[in-house]
Amino acid sequence: MQIKANTKASINSYFNNAKALSLLVSANAKASAFFLI
């Protein structure tokens, strides 16, 4: 049972990291596009 909880927590943190990373990447892309125009 404890292993399942740990797995769920690490999956959640992985998805949160991925979400934060994609937000960061899209923000960088927007900034780059802004400077290119």
Question: What is the four-CA torsion angle of 9, 10, 13, 15, rounded to 10 degrees?
Answer: -110
Domain coverage including residue 15: 1-37
Query: How buried is residue 3: exposed, middle or buried, by Cβ count under 10 Å (0-12/13-18/19+)?
Result: exposed
The tally of domains found in the chain comes to 1
With 70 as the cut, is the pLDDT of residue 37 above it?
Answer: no
d(CA 7, CA 11): 6
Is residue 31 helix, strand or coil? helix
As a whole number, the mean pLDDT across the chain is 88
pLDDT on residue 1: 65
pLDDT band at 8 (very low <50, low <70, confident <90, very high): very high
